[in-house]
């Protein structure tokens, strides 16, 4: 038996044990789902065993609800007139905007916010795509269907907490979704990795729903590195304390709680040791990142991606986040700073992947609670629905706008009636396109996105 065969046998056995354990924990239906996941993972591993490729997905979540109406603006006379008429005091002057040149014409011209010259350059260079008017959907919905409530709608629309969870789980018809679509993706893909010590799902942006899986857990890392157990290194007293804790972990266990607790503690210690050694051996990128929390998050992710293949990873999923996008007031000033940070941080991250020679293997995508109302509330905008998102990387078919840009008319065909765009592209379609690039077969997409069958476009074409 070769080393690869042994690893494959070990992972298959582990996943079968997980599936069997689920029989007692969650019942037959859950076990069937796990067995389907096992079969899909086994087939995927057999298919991709010889490829030796590496890929990383980086989710960048903009908490609060980004006002993408002022991130991407129509600048042709008709489009800008509708924009300025509705936005009033939030409308940005055309002479400050940064023109972009989408490859596919739709009768309008577009520009980016003035604080995003870095992303303008990447878009025009073909490594950044825009996905227009995407949001949470249970089924496709027209304005008439929305107003008549004749089609199931996402629960608790326009609520921060509910919509951010629905974006991260892609289950807008469930009130208590346990797993994120990134976690379900990791459960399916994990068998491709040969590293049993570190998880493939790493968060720099705090605990999140996106990476919660059944088999694969997220591991939180700070911008300085791994999170060590406090008080175990340094002074003599700390070393003594650390040795005592290790002795307790090694003691014979009397019950399941003790087994579980000691296992969690041991993994925390082991992960810290491995990650610290890995980062010590991995040089930081020469690329200069902005001195912001988001810039620091993406800088650390770049280092972890550089180290990934050497640790036995062929697939990794990362999560970064930034807050402050709930711009009910003082939007013009606040949003300018937010988009400047976003543009500079994303551009530095892309340059670091180029520096490390992995740009074609890394895809970064944005997400947010929701968009914001087209009409102003006076000094800002309120909670909306559909919004525009950014996808960046060497594998991205960039320089274009995908999906359908909304008709910018209050009470028009894309409006709920309050300046909230009804999404014309679902989070499921967005996520499915990313998952397919990551290696998931079309037939396995329902394992990750149970509602994908409600929509006709599992591949939006931006990858």
- C-alpha distances (whole Å) from 461 to each of 86, 335, 395, 420, 429 are 31, 30, 11, 26, 10
67 C-beta neighbours (distance < 10 Å), count: 29
Confidence tier at 255 by pLDDT (50, 70, 90): confident
Record the tokens describing residue 3, joined without a space. 């080393």
Record the tokens describing residue 156, joined without a space. 């608790």
Round to the nearest angstrom and report the end-to-end CA distance of the chain. 37
Residue 12 reports pLDDT greater than 70 = no
- Domain extents in the chain: 1-51, 54-227+285-454
Would you list the DSSP string of 335-384? HHHHHHHHHHHHHHHHHHHHHTT-GGGEEEEEEES--B-SS--SSS--B-
436-439: which pairs have CB atoms within 8 A and are 24 or more residues apart?
436/463, 437/55, 437/363, 437/395, 437/463, 438/55, 438/57, 438/185, 438/189, 438/315, 439/44, 439/48, 439/55, 439/189, 439/192, 439/315
Confidence tier at 2 by pLDDT (50, 70, 90): very low
H and E: helices and strands count for the chain = 13, 12
pLDDT tens column, 381-438: 999 999 999 999 999 999 999 999 999 999 999 999 989 999 999 999 999 999 999 9
CB 385 within 8 A of CB 113: no
Query: SS3 string of 187-211?
Result: HHHHHHCCCCCCCCEEECCCCCCCC
Which class in CATH covers the domain with range 54-227+285-454?
Answer: alpha beta
- Kindly report the backbone phi and psi dihedral angles of residue 383, in degrees, each rounded to the nearest multiple of 5, phi listed first: -65, 130
Listed in order, strand segments (DSSP E) in 3-88 are 55-62, 72-74
pTM check: above 0.75: yes
pLDDT tens column, 130-182: 999 999 999 999 999 999 999 999 999 999 999 999 999 999 998 778 899 99
């Amino acid at each position: 038996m070769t080393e690869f065969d042994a690893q494959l046998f070990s992972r298959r056995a582990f996943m079968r044990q997980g599936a069997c354990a689920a029989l007692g924990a969650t019942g037959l239906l859950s076990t069937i789902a796990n067995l389907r996941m096992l079969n899909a993972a086994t087939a995927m591993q057999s298919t991709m065993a010889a490829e030796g490729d590496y890929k990383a997905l980086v989710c960048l979540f903009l908490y609060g609800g980004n006002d993408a109406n002022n991130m991407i603006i129509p600048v042709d006379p008709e489009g800008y007139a509708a924009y300025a008429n509705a936005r009033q005091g939030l409308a940005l002057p055309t002479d400050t905007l940064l023109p972009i040149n989408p490859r596919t014409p739709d009768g309008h011209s577009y520009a980016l916010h003035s604080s995003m010259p870095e992303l303008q350059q990447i878009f025009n260079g073909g490594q950044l795509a825009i996905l227009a008017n995407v949001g949470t959907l249970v089924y496709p919905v027209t304005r008439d269907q929305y107003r008549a409530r004749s089609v199931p709608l996402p629960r608790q629309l326009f609520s921060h907490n509910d919509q951010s969870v629905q974006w991260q789980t892609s289950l807008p018809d469930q009130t208590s979704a346990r797993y994120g679509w990134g976690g379900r993706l990791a459960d399916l893909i994990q068998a491709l990795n040969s590293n049993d010590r570190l998880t493939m799902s790493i968060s720099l942006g705090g605990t999140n729903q996106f990476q919660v899986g059944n088999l694969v857990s997220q591991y939180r890392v700070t911008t300085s590195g791994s999170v060590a157990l406090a008080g175990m290194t340094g002074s003599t007293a700390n070393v003594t304390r650390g040795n005592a804790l290790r002795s307790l972990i090694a003691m014979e266990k009397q019950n399941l709680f003790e087994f579980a607790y000691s296992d969690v503690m041991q993994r925390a210690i082991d992960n810290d040791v491995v990650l610290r050694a890995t980062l010590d051996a991995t040089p930081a990128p020469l690329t200069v990142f902005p001195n912001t929390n988001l810039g620091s998050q993406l800088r650390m992710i770049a280092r972890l991606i550089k180290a990934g293949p050497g640790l036995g990873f062929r697939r990794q999923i990362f999560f970064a986040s930034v807050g402050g996008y709930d711009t009910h007031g003082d939007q013009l000033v606040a949003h300018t700073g937010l988009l400047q940070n976003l543009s500079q941080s994303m551009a530095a991250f892309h340059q670091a992947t180029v520096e490390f020679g992995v740009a074609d293997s890394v895809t970064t995508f944005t997400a947010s609670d929701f968009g914001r109302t087209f009409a102003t509330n006076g000094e800002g905008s309120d909670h909306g629905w559909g919004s525009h998102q950014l996808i960046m990387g060497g594998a991205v078919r960039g320089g274009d706008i995908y999906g359908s840009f909304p008709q910018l008319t209050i009470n028009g065909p894309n409006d709920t009636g309050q300046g909230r765009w009804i999404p014309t592209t679902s989070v499921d379609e967005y996520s499915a396109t990313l998952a397919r690039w990551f290696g998931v077969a079309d037939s396995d997409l329902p394992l990750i996105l149970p509602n994908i069958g409600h929509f006709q476009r599992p591949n939006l074409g931006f990858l």
